[in-house]
Amino acid sequence: MLTREEAQQLVLTRLKARQDAQDLFIVEDGTIERPFGWLFFLAVRFSGATAPPGTDSYRLILVNKHVEQVIGSSIEYTPERFIEIYETLLAKSEASREDWCETISFPLPWRGFRRARLAKTAKEMGLHEIR
């Protein structure tokens, strides 16, 4: 399980590997802690002629501390809505894994279908994993 500091480093490492964002940083006072992990506010400081010095662009990133999953969104959500969407999908995923009503010992054919449906829903909601 990740600590908050390890989660922050994981986010920065993954994002800096994907883009030319050397001035990427986490806004500490914006971080929201949840049972699954954290919602981080990331900012990119611009210092060129295109933006006034000190101007920041913000982005929300979720980290699941249990599975080291880093989630971004292509849709701009409020922090509360982004967390709500992720927690709803996470709860559905956990419920489908538990198979609490299963009495048959062989794999049921709809297990894979449920996972595919959840992945499709996440994609439609703009969520994507940052690897």
Q: For residue 36, what are the domain limits?
A: 4-129
* Structure tokens given for 83: 């967390």
Query: How many other C-beta atoms are found inside a 10 Å radius of the C-beta of residue 60?
Result: 20
| pTM score | 0.79
Q: Considering its fold, how many domains does the chain have in total? A: 1
Task: Look at residue 42 and tell me whether its pLDDT is greater than 80.
Answer: yes
CB distance 61 to 130 below 8 Å: yes
Q: What is the pLDDT of residue 80?
A: 97
**pLDDT averaged over every residue in the chain:** 82
pLDDT of 46 strictly over 90: no
Q: How many angstroms separate the CA atoms of 15 and 84, rounded?
A: 23
54: left (phi over 0), alpha (psi -120 to 50) or beta: left
CB 17 within 8 A of CB 28: no
Would the pLDDT of 34 be above 90?
yes
pLDDT of residue 7: 97
pLDDT of residue 118: 83
For residue 104, give the amino acid letter.
I
Provide the pLDDT for residue 91: 92
Cβ pair 111, 98 in contact under 8 A: no
- pLDDT given at position 107: 56
* Residue 104, both tokens: 């048959």
